[in-house]
Amino acid sequence: MRFYENAAQNWVRDNFSSILTKNANYITMVGGKSKSNELDRDSPSTLPFTNENSLEPYQILDAFTVCFKHILDSHELDSFIQKVKGDLYNRDYIAAFNDDNKRFGYAARWSPSRALAYASLFSNLEPITELLQESEKVKRVLCVGGGAASEIVGLGAVYCRLKEFHPNSPSRLDIDVVDIADWTVVVNQLTNYVKQNWVYKEHNFNTQFKHEDILSTKIDDLASFDLITLLFTTNELFAEKRKETIKLLQTLSTGCKSGTLLLIAESAGSFSHITIGNKQFPVQFLIDTILVGKQGEGNGSWEIISEKESIWYRINEREVTYPLKLENMRFFYRLYRRK
């Protein structure tokens, strides 16, 4: 095991050195920012606020308003939110979600904005909409770090809209959520809302929550998943255990079946930079190296089929209301497909 960890760490170090040497005119790190004409393709763009492949934003927000009414009405909500903000600012992700008050505070405050953005992102990625509108088969999704349930609601909003014209379809969507914090109650409440209010047949939409550390858990049925998401999760994983996170990405390469989709998203900008040696690199650069291989060679197990270095999702405040502030989001994403 020690040999494997050292090999993984050395592999990343050596590849980074090679990449930075051979591709100096592709990416130049200046003050933690990338500068290259080839990155012009990644100038900021904007996801649509609404999309025909997803339920309406007000319907998504209604799920949170109904499920978290008791929290939204609590006079202690602000104090819970401030505690979470402090922990997240310090990148202490374990402390941020170590009790129910913090978890409910986070889910009421930030999950709605993310669910809106995720629904828009999912509905604008054709490989994902094609997967979700499958008419006959069971499709399985694994959401790593998705305990706050934004992914569940976002996927549900797209899946249920795509199924509106085929309500008797035997297809089913099964979502596994793995998170190191115990989000059981949050996941169950929002899942039940989707099943009771959005989907025509309740048994066609299912979730299973696993309170586990993905970095120390063996996923026996990895090859059964059609889509895996790590949304605003990889930074947390790298911050906690870098070597184990590298091993996780390598496990996805060896364990996933051909055609599996992998969607990764994180905040755009320097917040998503990690330090290796005395230099800083965008986390997506490290992930690409592990999954796809060296720049220009494409000798990894995955291929990038859609990507954006900076994309916005902006709230249209004229169309929706929510008891708490809804955040605009700027992030990067990568959609990979297993070769």
Q: What is the pLDDT along the chain (339 residues), one digit of tens a residue?
A: 444 334 444 555 555 444 433 433 333 333 333 333 333 345 559 999 999 999 999 999 999 999 999 999 999 999 999 999 999 888 788 899 999 999 999 999 999 999 999 999 999 999 999 999 988 899 999 999 999 999 999 999 999 999 998 888 889 999 999 999 999 999 999 999 999 999 999 999 999 999 999 999 988 899 999 999 999 999 889 988 999 999 999 999 999 999 999 999 999 976 678 877 788 888 999 999 999 998 888 799 999 999 999 999 999 999 999 999 999 999 999 999 999
For 149: left if phi > 0, alpha if psi spans -120 to 50, otherwise beta; the answer is: left
Dihedral sign for Cα 222, 243, 338, 274, please. Answer: positive
Position 14 scores a pLDDT of: 56
86-95 burial, b if ≥16 CB within 10 A, otherwise e? ebbeeeebee
Position 219 scores a pLDDT of: 87
Cβ-contact 200, 167 below 8 angstroms? yes
Position 12 scores a pLDDT of: 56
Position 236 scores a pLDDT of: 86
| Amino acid at residue number 199 | V
The class level of CATH for 45-338 reads alpha beta
H-run or E-run covering 89: helix 77-89
Q: How many residues are there in the chain?
A: 339
Residue reference for tokens 């947390």? 236
The DSSP code for 313 is: E
3-class SS of residue 55: coil
Cβ-contact 177, 263 below 8 angstroms? no
Position 297 scores a pLDDT of: 82
